[in-house]
Structure 1
Amino acid sequence: MDVRLDHLVCWVSDQLRALDFYEQVIGLPGVRAEEFRDGKAPFPSVRVSGDTIIDLMPENAANRVDEGTGVSGSAGHPVNHFCLAFGRADFDALEARLARHGVEVTGTGSNSFGARGIAPDVIYFPDLDGNVIEARYYE
């Protein structure tokens, strides 16, 4: 079976501010960013990999998401965290960008199990809307 994570949805209070954070601080490229800025796309996304994006949805869209999924009360539920795996050099660069932008690393760990085995170091930090992000690297 070949299954991949296609996208996740993060609820954000200000889509442009969130897009800037994910692009400038985390370093993920925008998807449909210009279309969103021009009013031609309902939300922007950022690319995690060739297979996966994060959609930046406005908090006030939760009721429309419920209607779309057909599952009442399913929208807007918090997720504990999501994890982004970087190469070691990109992980180090992320830590420097977080510090430069005044983003507090709220937790750390070592020898943490994940999709590709054990990561020697992990960090946790919130985005601008309180979504918790874990960042790690594998050797």
Structure 2
Amino acid sequence: MDVRLDHLVCWVSDQLASLHFYEQVIGLPGVRAAEFREGKAGFPSVRVSSETILDLMAYDVSRGVEEGTGVEGSAGHPINHFCLAVGREDFDALQVRLKQHGVEVTGSGSNSFGAQGIAPEVVYFPDPDGNVLEVRYYE
């Protein structure tokens, strides 16, 4: 079986602020960002990879999403964190942008196991809604 992660949904209180964070601080390109700003899309997304996006969904639509999944109590259910893997140069550049935007790195580690093996360094930090991101690089 060939399986790929298609998308993740993050509950956010301010979609434009979250879009700004993921585009400007993290450096991910917006998907349907212009359409969202024009009122033509219900939520914006950012592209993580050629096959994976992160949807930035407002809390107030969670009822409809729950109805769509058919799983009662699933809307807005928290996750511990999600992890983005980047190259070493992007990892270093991200740490500079985090400082520039006043985003506190709340944790770090070394030799951390992940989907591609052992990452020499990892950092953790929250997005504007408290969703925790881990960013790492592999050698």
Is the TM value for this pair above 0.5? yes
Query: SS at the partner of 1:48?
Result: strand
1:83, distance to aligned residue in structure 2 (A): 0.1
User: Which residue matches 2:58?
Assistant: 58
Runs of 4+ in 1 over 3 A off after TM superposition: none
Provide the rounded CA distance (Å) in 2 between the counterparts of 1:71 and 1:2.
26
Aligned pairs (5 A) from 1:16-27: 16-27=16-27
User: Which residue matches 1:124?
Assistant: 124
Q: Percent identity?
A: 77
Provide the rounded CA distance (Å) in 2 between the counterparts of 1:57 and 1:10.
6
Aligned pairs (5 A) from 1:39-118: 39-118=39-118
Q: Which runs of 5+ in 2 are unaligned?
A: none
CA RMSD of the aligned region, Å?
A: 0.4
Provide the rounded CA distance (Å) in 2 between the counterparts of 1:137 and 1:69.
33
Q: Which runs of 5+ in 1 are unaligned?
A: none
The letter of the residue matching 1:56 is L
The letter of the residue matching 2:113 is F
Please give the TM-score of this superposition, normalised by the length of structure 1. Answer: 0.99
Q: How many residues align?
A: 139
1:62, distance to aligned residue in structure 2 (A): 1.1
1:60, distance to aligned residue in structure 2 (A): 1.1
